[in-house]
Amino acid sequence: MEPIKFNPQSRVFTLRTCSTMYQMQIERYDTLVHLYYGADLGDTEVVHRIVNLDRGFSGNPYEAEDDRRFSLDVLPQEYTAEGNGDYRIQGIEIRHTDGSNCLQLKYCSHQILPGKYRLPGLPSLFTTQESDAATLEILLKDEPSGVEVKLLYGVFPQCDVITRAVEITNHGTSRIALKKAMSLELDFPKRSMDLIHFYGRHNMERQTERRPITHGIQSIESKRGMSSHHHNPAVLICDRRATEDYGDCYGIVFVYSGNFECQVELDQAEQTRLVMGIHPSNFSFRLSPGESFTTPEAVMTWSGKGLEQISHHFHDAFRNHLIRSSYVNRHRPVLVNNWEATYFQFDEKKLYGIAKAAKEIGIELFVLDDGWFGKRDDDISGLGDWYVNEKKIHGGLPALVQKIHNLGMKFGIWIEPEMISEDSDLYRLHPDWCLKVPGRNPMTSRGQLNLDVSRKEVRDYVMEQIFQVLDSCHVEYVKWDVNRAVGNVFSQSLPEDRQGEVLHRHMLGVYDMMEQLITRYPDLLLETCAGGGGRFDAGMLYYSPQIWCSDNTDAIDRLEIQYGTSFIYPISTMGAHVSVCPNHQTGRTTDMNTRAVVAMSGTFGYELDLEHMTKEEKEIASDLITQFKEIEPMIQNGDYYRITAPKDENNAVVWSFVSKDKAKVLVCGVVLRKYPNPPITLLHLRGLDPQKKYKETLTGQIYTGAVLMYAGIPLPLPSMDYESLQYRFEETNEI
């Protein structure tokens, strides 16, 4: 199977993966039209799907003369521009020096190349060997202006994903302003479909919402300078009847961590168009003759077997071709973080005491959180002053780290390199280094401002300070946090007509800082964070194999947060900890086993004062660490199934992992309420081999895969609210 083919007679491009096919055609007047995306149809070309009609108030290209049936306003297309007669949402908008915005993109040429294209300075999917992927470059050109648009397609056959990006180059003689540059445009024929997206807020990120696609424009977006707690840069589009294991579904993920917009429009002809890319609000990129702009990457996939297959495609693609860290398939050390145990109030004796108690129960990594640097006794001072506060840590950080290493534990540390406090030595020295609009008081958040990391001198200064700390002692883990949205968007390093570039340049600066960190320390385990899950996106996974899922550590709320996250992102990327009860965010009390079962479906760790745990609690915590190490390979590499949803009427949230060879199964869950005289609920597993026999390791009970999937097993009756369950099944030859 060739992943990319071009038929010069029909002028049809065909992109194929193991089970999907994507087709487009160079139509009349060199217009690139979209034909099909869905199940693999072999060598068939579906050119018959384009039906031209004369539709009132839909204009026609000048070349079409009196042929009113050919209109860009209703044609399904690959990438459209403002000002050319297509009045729907478009992929690109440009302002020429005369103030006009017309751009009529015509096919010019193409190349089919082995391997995967690269996007300098931006995160994107990669290949480990050239045969993993193939690249299609299609060059479109607007002849009068000289503007060229190169459409980039990366085809990953084994993962069933196709990547998209766009390179815009000004080959004209005048400067242009790029006002909008989407990474992906996707047109669908008439059909009834739903949009699934993941909304939320701080402490309740990635809640799942499904709604019909109706006439007009629906938008999922963030203008906060980051992907945000409030909307995630990923959407699913599916048939109205689609379920976890039934129906046509499409998934689109933006590999970017800054402002984004995904718009969906149902047009006059009942066709649906989706565009995704950098949010055009406060975006304007100046391109002088010869200059180019490259958009971030978008990743898309299709499933004919429901939503869970979409998740499997994304999980496999991200584990194998996005996460670069050597930890992607390695054991992640079980950690303890001191934040909820001490907040800002600690000294080296308290920290060592927590580490010593952690070592006794089998914890492998101690993480020192906020408050170790500058004059940082609260959250309104010290950011930007990355030197050790020896009034708290007497004797300095190297001495403390050495003591923790002597326990046989690894050491990690918290940083927030993108931020600055007004009450800091750095601000007093360089007040112009933050984003701030001249002549106005800045909008603050959490008592801090954004450093202008679009500027190289700012990035280099901050990272050199941090490198001096990390070089002084052997640090194996870094938690990179950001605790406010980007605001006061103005850079003193750019002229007035380039202020629309600040937000994107700022994001490129963040990526550059992270690249510096992981290049200097290739064995470092990096975990990113943004006040919890405010920047949980595919762009971050290119730099860190895990992201702190939410500042809300309550196990019951985490059921919903981690459920929504699982549609797109691998389970092993979700930072999850067992914290104290009553929970600091909700006041809820849950059993430690329940907290652990939820946290085990993530990176697993502890965030509480271990010195205050009873002997019995320590024994339980130690046993849970042993359990996690046994099941970690399944969580990292197994296929994930959402058996019941948080809002189902089953009174339980249940999920499972199935090994790639279908020989092992891990089932986890939480029963929410204990009811008197309850109904019996049957759990139907998925993804097993119906012919295999499976032995439940605790009871010794043997079932066939068919029985576990089709007949089901009873949900256990709880003895209390919020009781956890966990089953392990292994293939057996026993009778």
Question: Which of the residues are catalytic?
Answer: 537, 617
Q: For residues 196 and 211, what is the distance between their CA atoms, to the nearest angstrom?
A: 7
User: What SS3 class is residue 497?
Assistant: helix
Which two structure tokens, joined as six digits, stand for 380? 């309104």
Q: How many CB atoms lie within 10 A of CB 478?
A: 24
Q: Report d(CA 391, CA 413) in Å as an integer.
A: 18
Instruction: Please state, in angstroms and rounded to a whole number, the distance separating the CA atoms of residues 657 and 631.
Output: 10
- Is 385 in contact with 374 (CB distance < 8 Å)? yes
Torsion of CA 194, 198, 201, 203, to 10 degrees: 140
473/471 Cα distance (integer angstroms): 5
- Rounded Cα distance between 692 and 281, Å, is 55
Report the 10 Å Cβ neighbour count for 54: 12
According to DSSP, residue 610 is labeled G
Q: Return the structure tokens found at 247.
A: 């129906």
Angle at 91 between CA 90 and CA 92, to 5 degrees: 100
Report how far residue 627's alpha carbon sits from residue 456's, in angstroms, rounded to the nearest whole number.
Answer: 46
Q: How far apart are CA 351 and CA 411, in angstroms?
A: 11
The DSSP letter of residue 708 is I
Q: Which two tokens stand for residue 411?
A: 């050491």
Tell the burial category of 440 from Cβ atoms under 10 Å away from its Cβ (0-12, 13-18, 19+).
exposed
What SS3 state is found at 579?
A: strand
CA-closest candidate to residue 189, choices 78, 75, 89: 75
User: Contact 32/107 with Cβ under 8 angstroms?
Assistant: yes
> 181 with 40: CB under 8 angstroms?
no
Distance CA 3, CA 535 (A): 33
How many other β-carbons are positioned within 10 Å of the β-carbon of residue 432?
A: 13
Closest to 147 (Cα-Cα) out of 179, 173, 114, 116: 173
By three-state DSSP, how is residue 426 classified? helix
HSE at residue 434, side-chain half, CA atoms within 13 A, is 28
The residue among 529, 454, 459 whose CA lies nearest residue 489 is 454
Q: Is-contact 36 175, C-beta < 8 A?
A: no
CB-based burial of residue 190 (10 Å sphere; 0-12 exposed, 13-18 middle, 19+ buried)? exposed
DSSP string, 517-573: HHHH-TT-EEEE-BTTBTT-SHHHHTT-SEEE--S---HHHHHHHHHHHHTTS-GGG
Pick from 416, 73, 137: nearest CA to 273: 73
